[in-house]
Structure 1
Amino acid sequence: MNLNLLNLYNKKVFFIVSLLITSIQLSAQKVTIPIASENHMILLQTDHLNRLRTIYFGKPIQNQSELEAVGATTNYDENNSGIYNSAYTPAGTWNLSEPAIQVKHADGNPSLELKYSSHKKEQIDANTSLTSIVLKDPVYPFEVTLCYKVWSKENLIEQWTEIRHKEKKAVLLQKFASANLYFSNKDFYLTSFQGEYLKEMQPIETKLEQGIRTIDSKLGTRAMLLQTPNFIVSFGKPASENQGTVLLGQLAWSGNFKLDFEIDSHKNLRLITGINPYASEYALVPNETFKTPSLIYTLSTNGTGEASRNLQNWARKYRVLDGEGERLTLLNNWEATYFDFDENKISGLFKGAKDIGVDLFLLDDGWFGNKYPRNNDDAGLGDWQENKKKLPHGLGYLVKEAKKEGVKFGIWIEPEMVNPRSELYEKHQDWVIRQPERPEIYYRNQLVLDLSNPEVQDFVFGIVDNLFVKNPELAFIKWDCNAVIYNAYSAYLNKKGLPQSNLYVDYIKGLYKVLERIRAKYPKVPMMLCSGGGGRGEYEFLKYFTEFWPSDDTEPLERIFMQWNYSYFFPSITTDNHVTDWGKQPLKFRVDVASMGKLGFDIVTNHLSEKDRQFCKQAISNYHSFKDIVWHGDQYRLVNPYENDIASLMYVNKDKTRAVVFNYLVNNRFNLTATKRPVVFNGLDSNKKYVVKEINLYPEIESTLKSVVYSGDFLMKAGYNPDVNLKRTSVVLEVTELK
């Protein structure tokens, strides 16, 4: 044999033997990583090739010495597809399934391999830990860190991914998911929440079959108008309130999102969630870290009720701005005046507000613009100076007049947007997201400002900052966002030589930078997040906002259903519910529905009849007596309005001494005369005695219910009939421990 051929042969043999030895060593040294809370565990483990797999998701395995053996309990043949249960599935090498990450390296190579490198667990406090797992490409200087932040008591995980590299030039991230989860079970049911304007948060439950079910948004801003990043996965059977295993999740991201639910050939579920890669290939420069948004999820083996209480408790304590604090009961002028007002009309609305118990007056759209006055929604947006004709003495005058009447003053802004009929547009077309070679397309007669541009970020921050500098006693901000992004193009990115595909991501990152600056200077001022309704209700924004506006549809019957659906994911303290003139229901019904959250009014209080005013005053007084239970207590959905003629929801304080129960007639097609069966309560102490009493009665109307005393055991087994009927369409019960 030729000597060179012999040397080559020996090298090949040595290489093969080395691979075999390495494989054997790795097989003998599998790394097992538990991610565990009080009641559930994710178990990750390296395989013989040092790739990280998800081998278990369920109740905690108590014996730590047995964790390593879990991976040997299943045997899936995956030669045709790669690895279904990869903890973070790369594209371009061994995998043929839907990837979690896809990249193009600086040299143009589209392949990626990720192998386990290291991990660490940091105990942040007694309840909170952070596990970080580093995966590296064996060929390129490219790495991914999987991050799992666990709140043990709440059984909640926040999961995200950090991507970085040390290649010579930018790497193009073509897909970059936040999480890649894997579940083994017989059947899976998905509840997603979709809709349209005035019809937000509509639930659709489907059994997942083999293939991929995708929920996504490509709207850019107001991204949740048509579909939301909230979801429920139920295992084995459809979702139930108090039984069964369910996972509640949300991608905390304010822009385009994508959720992929894939039933693989083994009938298991792969869940890949993150920023929508649509038109969003992202150029990541060397030595910078790309942090994905978080997937937030909780698992319960006792149905959606327990899961949502876990999520609500976590949100109040750890995420929502001032989530364990107070909120202001406000009066808004929008439906009372729309754009047609002046300072006399507005100051006239202050009168009597304090008398019925309102804390704050909110001046809505229409107060600004001079060259292009904001008398309709087609002009003025972007020109944030007081309209001299409407407000000749400025906002400061209204702040003082409100104070004289005993109420605080708040203001509406929509700082991310611009009307083409505005001075801002005339001066700074380069600040506007618009393709210069295409006709402009408007949503509500407006365009979106380019927040990838630091100058625009400064401008938007300045809008808020100037309001507070000029009016230090300003007490509330309503931050609106009504347009979506058409003709996505950034003059700033073009000028900087950056890809246009960075825009959708950099817009949201720029918005977060603005909000961080606002909160650094004004940490405590309450701010409502509004986006034509629920277009932005998610937990990354709620780091900066105290509350959000669920929908412009304030018709109270529709609100019962909408608020029911939002309650799976959000505590009541975050949802703004206003009493308006929408709907045919009586004022009492409207006030009762709005009291299941942060109460507000959008009516002319001076136009109320004497009895209506008397009722509002008493109802608001009652609300102030139980709002702490609604805001900070545990919520129980008792009677589902989708399945019954009535709806019933209950809130119980933490020491189980007080509760409030809301009951509504939601269907009278068959002339319902009375509640047919009792409502079974939940969340009380079985051993305590409780007084049950009806409150929020309209003047001169007597309750058909007598104040009674029952044990918690009785109320949670036999129940209590609220006597809801055609004459009593809304019944509110106060439940108080008998001392």
Structure 2
Amino acid sequence: MPDDPWLLRTEHTTYAVALAGDGRWAELTAWGPHGAETGPSPLDWSRRTHFITPADAAPAEYIPYGLRPFTGADLVAQRPGEERGVWWRFTGAAQDGDRTLRLVFADDTLGLTAALHYEAVPGTDVILRWTELTCTGDTALRLERFDSAAVNIPVSGGARLTYLTGQWSQEFRRTQLDLTRGRFEMASTQGVPGHAYAPWLAVQDLASPAEGATPTYGVALEWSGNWHLTTDAEPGGAVRVRAGRVPHEGAVRLAPGATLTTPRLACAFSPDGLDGLARVWHRYERVLTGERMDRPRKVLYNSWEATGFDVDAATQLELAGIAAEMGAELFVVDDGWFPGRDDDTGGLGDWTPEPASFPDGFDHFIGEVRALGMDFGLWVEPEAISPRSALYAAHPEWVYRIDGRPATLVRNQLLLDLGREDVQDFVLATFDRLLGDHDISYLKWDMNRPPTERGRPGGGPVEEQDLDAAHVAGYLRVLDHLRTRHPHVTVEGCAGGGARIEHATLARTDVVWPSDNTAPLDRLAIQYGYLHAHAPHTMSSWVTDSPGVFDPRPRSLGFRFVNSMAGVLGIGADIRTWPPERRAEAAGWIARYKEIRDVVHHGEVRLLNTPADATCGIQYDEPGGARVVVTAWNTGRLDGAPLVPGRPARLRLRGLEPTARYVDTASGVAYSGAHLVHSGLPFAWTERYDAELVVLTEE
């Protein structure tokens, strides 16, 4: 192994890579805080190779089947009709300081080169990894597996895996598994990341505590389609994570001269446990958002839960007037605004306003909303098409289909083949027309069904189509067009709730919708998991009527507002039914949110306890400022210690200056930082007082 590995440095961490195996592969030698690269590699398993090859035991960064036949390869390639396998050699490296690295390997016999790419993202502790595969011979190659990267985790006693699981309406539930030996895999073949698993994983050493000063490693795949993430606790004790695309066709064809670029895998490290790792991801997502971070996320009212498909101008304006009085800044008309949309059986694809719903004209209606002091937005589902629509009558060939096989309706709709350029052009023209002809400043992009009969008759041999990648490319092309052609428009991403939330989407949208479930206690658990992986400024959350349709357990209006204020505040209730005192209370919460949303969206987040605890909360530290914002909830029973006189529940804060003085801006009570960290912030919960927003100012 060379004495001088290649080093990549982030703000606080070092990632060290060296050649090994006589130059046949690259290995990770260190990953951790600055200085971790000095000393023998903690990942060297070179002597533990009984009955396997040295490559199978190596902490290889990326290695093909052929060199690594037993314990899991990252690349499986072959010439059609020949044996699988790649036996490559190192051909060169290029490095730009300690920020980027490119390592190239080639198999001249097969006709393949692989370029391993690394990029340290400035201002973060994230390293991006991806691979470029090029067919250099005169014969096409068949790629059965082509992962983005493999990540070796320096653990000593097995791995504690933390990941996000669920189903529709139960997304982002934090789940943990101890893996001492064997394989754990998460995947989606639904054409989107899916509700069941997020393409995100955190890994800790089982020998360390789960929280506190615990080295914690994380990966997240930037891909909007089919994916897998596989963790192997290998013989000898090594833990290795592989992640990448899953081709719909089972394999893809790489033509002579063509290059396939894999999705990027973001790799993160924190010495401060899962909570610290969450802050690393939050900083990275603020970098992805870029200059759009400077735009406040406006308080939204969405009319779906109030009116459903029954959209007419008079009712919508009644709702808009009430929402404006309460302080909403944005009014969004959801499903039902276009022709044939009296229910979910028609209309999708015919994206023009229904004249009967807006008798004075759509622009007049928008003008009335804007006259109330609010921006205007619309719901769209551009990938969907109804069989009874005019679009389907004109272009039945635009849907995914397999000749001679029946089509499956999901939600009474089919799915457009967005990988087709003509379909992309139709969607682009639709958006340009809507946003060019009307004063619309917000779009909610929904996607409510996965592809089923995923075929494209006449599109050529199956392995040449790569339908999943084509759909993702079309989706991203449309989002990129929205960003460049209509930069003033705020874009919300949604896929039946949280089925398409990953870094490619987050880089191109302003907010996302984590779940269709807004029931207060369910939503608290969903958001708790979400914030482990994603930043508050991306998390749209609504106050809806309680009890909810998913979870009948009642909670106060304050609980629902504080819940939604933990991210980007919205309201989705039928506010026509709210009495004046409830509307006044809502107006007060909205005004308080506007005062602190910059801290919520830009601040350093600390997750305090869990929704399984009787009291939990989120702490937001103002960057470079003096404010600490705490959102807190009571989720447990109201008997026992919290009701004993003088014994309020307490929520211990973290990361405060012990000798500093912090004053509650509402009550005027002062605390030392040591008191807030050691004893905690007190809350005297009652049946009606079950949540609070506290703003502390450092003096």
Q: Aligned-pair distance for 1:69?
A: 7.6
2:633 matched residue in structure 1? 664
1:75 matched residue in structure 2? 47
Preserved contact between residue 656 and residue 685 of structure 1 (Cα < 8 Å)? no
1:594 matched residue in structure 2? 564
Looking at structure 1, the residues matched to 208 and 611 of structure 2 have their Cα atoms a distance apart, in angstroms, of 17
SS of the residue corresponding to residue 274 of structure 1 reads strand
1:36 matched residue in structure 2? 9
SS of the residue corresponding to residue 623 of structure 1 reads helix
| Amino acid aligned to 1:113 | W
Preserved contact between residue 447 and residue 494 of structure 2 (Cα < 8 Å)? yes
Looking at structure 2, the residues matched to 530 and 94 of structure 1 have their Cα atoms a distance apart, in angstroms, of 40
SS of the residue corresponding to residue 568 of structure 1 reads helix
Preserved contact between residue 558 and residue 690 of structure 2 (Cα < 8 Å)? no
Preserved contact between residue 321 and residue 542 of structure 1 (Cα < 8 Å)? no
Preserved contact between residue 220 and residue 256 of structure 1 (Cα < 8 Å)? yes
Preserved contact between residue 349 and residue 391 of structure 2 (Cα < 8 Å)? yes
1:514 aligns with 2:478: yes
Q: 1:457 aligns with which of 407, 424, 432?
A: 424
Q: Aligned-pair distance for 1:175?
A: 0.7
Looking at structure 2, the residues matched to 408 and 55 of structure 1 have their Cα atoms a distance apart, in angstroms, of 51
Q: Deviations over 1:439-491 (max 9, x none)?
A: 111221111111121101101111211101211x2110000000111111013
1:633 aligns with 2:597: no
Q: 2:671 aligns with which of 702, 706, 710?
A: 710
Preserved contact between residue 32 and residue 68 of structure 1 (Cα < 8 Å)? no
Q: Aligned-pair distance for 1:549?
A: 0.2
| Amino acid aligned to 1:610 | P
Q: 1:206 aligns with which of 172, 177, 195?
A: 177
Distance of aligned partners of 1:73 and 1:190 in 2 relative to their CA distance in 1, 3 Å threshold = closer
How do 1:363-442 and structure 2 match up within 5 A? Answer: 363-369=333-339, 373-442=340-409
Preserved contact between residue 179 and residue 274 of structure 1 (Cα < 8 Å)? yes
Looking at structure 2, the residues matched to 284 and 458 of structure 1 have their Cα atoms a distance apart, in angstroms, of 26
1:621 aligns with 2:591: yes
Q: Deviations over 1:484-537 (max 9, x none)?
A: 11111013xx33456366112211112112222222211231100011111111
Q: Deviations over 1:690-736 (max 9, x none)?
A: 11245xxxxxxxxxxx5311222322223221222334211221111
Looking at structure 2, the residues matched to 94 and 533 of structure 1 have their Cα atoms a distance apart, in angstroms, of 40
1:255 aligns with 2:216: no
Structure 2 runs not aligned, ≥5 long:
548-553
How do 1:319-718 and structure 2 match up within 5 A? Answer: 319=289, 322-369=292-339, 373-471=340-438, 473-491=439-457, 494-497=458-461, 499=463, 502-583=466-547, 584-642=554-612, 644-668=613-637, 673-674=642-643, 677-694=649-666, 706-718=667-679
1:699 matched residue in structure 2? none
| Amino acid aligned to 1:267 | G
1:189 matched residue in structure 2? 160
SS of the residue corresponding to residue 200 of structure 1 reads coil
SS of the residue corresponding to residue 389 of structure 1 reads helix
Looking at structure 1, the residues matched to 10 and 324 of structure 2 have their Cα atoms a distance apart, in angstroms, of 47
Looking at structure 1, the residues matched to 21 and 326 of structure 2 have their Cα atoms a distance apart, in angstroms, of 70
* Percent identity over paired residues: 25
Looking at structure 2, the residues matched to 119 and 173 of structure 1 have their Cα atoms a distance apart, in angstroms, of 24
Looking at structure 1, the residues matched to 604 and 546 of structure 2 have their Cα atoms a distance apart, in angstroms, of 29
Preserved contact between residue 158 and residue 233 of structure 2 (Cα < 8 Å)? no
Preserved contact between residue 275 and residue 292 of structure 1 (Cα < 8 Å)? yes
Q: Aligned-pair distance for 1:235?
A: 1.4
Q: Aligned-pair distance for 1:46?
A: 1.7
Preserved contact between residue 248 and residue 308 of structure 1 (Cα < 8 Å)? no
1:720 aligns with 2:677: no
| Amino acid aligned to 1:414 | E
Looking at structure 1, the residues matched to 529 and 617 of structure 2 have their Cα atoms a distance apart, in angstroms, of 13
Q: Which deviates the most, 514-523 or 613-622? A: 514-523
Q: Deviations over 1:386-412 (max 9, x none)?
A: 222222344322211111111111011
Preserved contact between residue 280 and residue 502 of structure 1 (Cα < 8 Å)? no
Looking at structure 1, the residues matched to 50 and 105 of structure 2 have their Cα atoms a distance apart, in angstroms, of 21
| Amino acid aligned to 2:480 | E
| Amino acid aligned to 2:84 | P
Preserved contact between residue 338 and residue 353 of structure 2 (Cα < 8 Å)? yes
- Structure number with bigger Rg: 1
2:252 matched residue in structure 1? 282
Q: Deviations over 1:134-153 (max 9, x none)?
A: 12114233111111111364
1:53 aligns with 2:53: no
Preserved contact between residue 379 and residue 444 of structure 2 (Cα < 8 Å)? yes
| Amino acid aligned to 2:145 | K
Distance of aligned partners of 1:78 and 1:256 in 2 relative to their CA distance in 1, 3 Å threshold = farther
SS of the residue corresponding to residue 466 of structure 1 reads helix
Report the TM-score when normalising by structure 1. 0.88
Looking at structure 2, the residues matched to 286 and 612 of structure 1 have their Cα atoms a distance apart, in angstroms, of 67
Looking at structure 2, the residues matched to 396 and 496 of structure 1 have their Cα atoms a distance apart, in angstroms, of 45
Q: Aligned-pair distance for 1:348?
A: 1.9
Looking at structure 2, the residues matched to 36 and 43 of structure 1 have their Cα atoms a distance apart, in angstroms, of 9
Distance of aligned partners of 1:336 and 1:181 in 2 relative to their CA distance in 1, 3 Å threshold = same
Q: Which deviates the most, 274-283 or 496-505? A: 496-505
Q: Superposition RMSD on alpha carbons, in Å?
A: 2.3
| Amino acid aligned to 1:35 | L
Q: Aligned-pair distance for 1:671?
A: 6.7
Q: Aligned-pair distance for 1:107?
A: 7.3
Q: Deviations over 1:599-621 (max 9, x none)?
A: 01112334321211111111111
SS of the residue corresponding to residue 260 of structure 1 reads strand
Structure 1 runs not aligned, ≥5 long:
1-26, 695-705
| Amino acid aligned to 1:207 | D
How many residues are matched?
A: 687
Distance of aligned partners of 1:734 and 1:143 in 2 relative to their CA distance in 1, 3 Å threshold = same
